[in-house]
């Protein structure tokens, strides 16, 4: 019993000491109110610069139009697929929104690995991988026979001319798939899906 109390005391002391050491380092990294205000002002200036037609090219924060003309108002309902590609993982969600007595949202999701050889391979291989993961998801959730609206979050800088098209400007975040920069990623995704032929 005494041994257990001594061990508990030792680990508590060790933990408190670690917390104090971490706090000491974090305290040194705190910003003053003046510094925070300066950061905020610089951020706002760069946002404004990014929004300006004449200054966008030199802005550190690129502001590109999305062509989204409205936001959800709470009356939406239906069954949707959401794709999120932008890091080491690729996420697929099925979102069901209903309005029986009150709005309910149900989500089912799967996370798929995006291996380095695909991230650095060809664009065709990348979008084939996305289509393959989507096919797997639809199989698992028994929805291959359904035609559901799809939202595609492609977390890279794209130039849009319409809501359903986006031309990749440049890869970021370790991605280097060839043959994609300057191309419409929505079209590349649709092409990969059609090539499979087992779902629309």
**Which residues contact residue 109 at a Cβ distance below 8 angstroms, ignoring those fewer than 6 apart?**
91, 92, 93, 94
Give start and end residues of each alpha helix (H) in the chain.
2-28, 33-51, 116-119, 123-140, 185-196
d(CA 63, CA 15) in angstroms, rounded, equals 45
**Beta bridge mates, 97:** 78, 105
Question: What is the predicted pLDDT for the residue at 154?
Answer: 85
Structure tokens, 157: 């800088």
Phi/psi for 187 (5° steps) reads -65, -40
Query: Is 56 exposed, middle or buried, given 0-12, 13-18 or 19+ CB atoms closer than 10 A?
Result: middle
Q: pLDDT value at position 9?
A: 58
Whether pLDDT at 1 is above 50: no
Q: Where are the domains of the chain?
A: 2-58, 78-196
69 in the Ramachandran plot: left (φ > 0), alpha (ψ -120 to 50) or beta?
Answer: alpha
By DSSP bridging, strand 158-162 and strand 165-168 are antiparallel
pLDDT tier at 171, thresholds 50, 70, 90? confident
The phi, psi pair for 16, rounded to 5°, reads: -60, -40
Tell me the residue ranges of DSSP E strands in 45-102. Answer: 78-85, 89-99
**Domain 78-196 top-level CATH class:** alpha beta
The predicted structure's pLDDT at residue 100: 75
Average pLDDT over residues 25-35: 84
What does pLDDT average to over the chain?
84
């Amino acid at each position: 019993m005494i041994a257990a109390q001594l061990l508990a005391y030792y680990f508590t002391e060790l933990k408190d000491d670690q917390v104090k050491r971490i706090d000491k380092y974090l305290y040194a990294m705190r910003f003053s109110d003046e510094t925070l205000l300066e950061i905020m002002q610089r951020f706002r200036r760069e946002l404004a610069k990014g929004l300006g037609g004449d200054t966008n090219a030199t802005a550190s924060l690129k502001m590109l139009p999305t062509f989204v003309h409205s936001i959800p108002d709470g009356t939406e309902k239906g069954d949707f697929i959401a794709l999120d590609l932008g890091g080491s993982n690729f996420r697929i969600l099925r979102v069901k929104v209903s309005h029986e007595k009150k709005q309910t949202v149900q989500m089912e999701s799967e996370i798929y690995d995006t291996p380095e050889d695909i991230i650095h391979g060809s664009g065709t291989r990348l979008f084939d991988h996305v289509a393959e993961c989507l096919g797997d998801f639809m199989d698992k959730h028994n929805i291959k026979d359904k035609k559901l609206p799809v939202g595609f979050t492609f977390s890279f800088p794209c130039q849009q001319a319409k809501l359903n098209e986006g031309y990749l400007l440049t890869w970021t975040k370790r991605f280097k798939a060839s043959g994609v920069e300057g191309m419409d990623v929505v079209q590349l995704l649709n092409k990969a899906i059609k090539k499979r032929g087992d779902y629309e």
